[in-house]
Structure 1
Amino acid sequence: MYVWARLARTALTARSRGDYRMGDESRLSFRCLPTDIDLNMHLNNARYMMLADIGRIDIFFRAGLVSLAREKGWAPMLGGLQTVFVREIRLWRKFDVVSTVETWEGTQVIGRHEFVLDSGETAALVLTTAGVYDRRARRVLQFDEVVAALGRDATPRPPTEAERIFMASHAGLRALAKKGG
């Protein structure tokens, strides 16, 4: 139930955090709860992904993508992710999840979710690739189409070398999965 409570809190308070513009960040504060931990008494690796989802959903609400997706029959879809764990988040520790849309190229959007301890240190970093699927047209949209439909005037920066490596790795792994392993 706590996952839904966190999601509901994020949805209900999204407006108070203001409109999301490309280049902005979503900053959500959490505390590591007993239901979040594993046998090592720190944040379970699956919780990082769930909390990154909430950061993405905050961006979707604040950018207007949730209402636009409902209207147009679109579905934001996560393609893949890569995570690095640097420091543990122990039980009861406060931390923030700082989420951003880093850039996009074609149909791929690169997102970043940094888990920041109350000391200011990074605990983990999650890089994601995602896109928006048009159910009616049965295709993944060029992200420039999504930005234009949102009424935004934004130009993506070129992907960094690390982002290009991530995108290529994701494409290769996806091709392998489609072939059956």
Structure 2
Amino acid sequence: MYVWARMARMMATARSRGPYLVGGESRLVFRCLPTDIDFNNHLNNARYMMLADLGRIDIFLRAGLIALARRNGWAPMIGGLQVAYVREIRLWRRFEVVSSIETWEGTSVIGRHRFVLDSGETAAQIMTTGGVYDRRGRRFLDIGEVVAALGRSAEPRPLTESEQLFVASHRELRSSAKRG
């Protein structure tokens, strides 16, 4: 079951968090609910991905990308992700999902989602890659084009070593999947 009630709350409160600017963060607060847990009584691994989705949607909504994508026939899409679980999030524990656009290169954008416990410790981190697909043009857009279409002027920073490794690993895994 998707997190529809949480998405509705995030969308209803997006304005109160202000516009998203590249380099900023999306911060969404949650509590680990009985519908989120597995048999170990902690946050289920699939729920991490769904809550990261909400962080990305919050960024897209607050940056104006969702409205722009609808007008232009674009579709923001995730290409892949890598997760590192460090600490468990137990039932009823409060935590934040802190999401950000880290940088981009060509048609790929690198995002990050940190799951932060109320103690300030990181419970998990997800690194993502994705892009914006132009359905009419049948191509992925250069992210610089998307940033300009949003009326922003921002330059990507160089990829860190861990981002370079992630991109290379993702590229190889994707290639392997295509070979079947």
Map residues 1-181 of structure 1 onto 2, 5 A cutoff.
Answer: 3-180=3-180
Deviations 1:58-84 (A, max 9, x none): 000000000000000000000000000
Taking structure 2 as the reference length, the TM-score comes to 0.99
Structure 2 unaligned blocks of 5 or more? none
Deviations 1:90-138 (A, max 9, x none): 0000000000000000011000000000000000000000100000000
Measure, in 1, the Cα distance between the counterparts of 2:67 and 2:131. Answer: 16
Measure, in 1, the Cα distance between the counterparts of 2:11 and 2:138. Answer: 28
Measure, in 1, the Cα distance between the counterparts of 2:177 and 2:102. Answer: 26
Measure, in 2, the Cα distance between the counterparts of 1:139 and 1:158. Answer: 24
Measure, in 1, the Cα distance between the counterparts of 2:52 and 2:8. Answer: 15
Report the identity percentage.
73
Structure 1 unaligned blocks of 5 or more? none
The count of corresponding residues between Structure 1 and Structure 2 is 180
The letter of the residue matching 1:50 is: M
CA spacing shift, 1:8–1:148, aligned 2, 3 Å: same
Aligned-residue Cα RMSD (Å) equals 0.8
Q: In structure 2, the residue corresponding to 1:123 is in which secondary structure? A: strand
Measure, in 2, the Cα distance between the counterparts of 1:132 and 1:171. Answer: 17
- Runs of 4+ residues over 6 Å off in structure 1: none
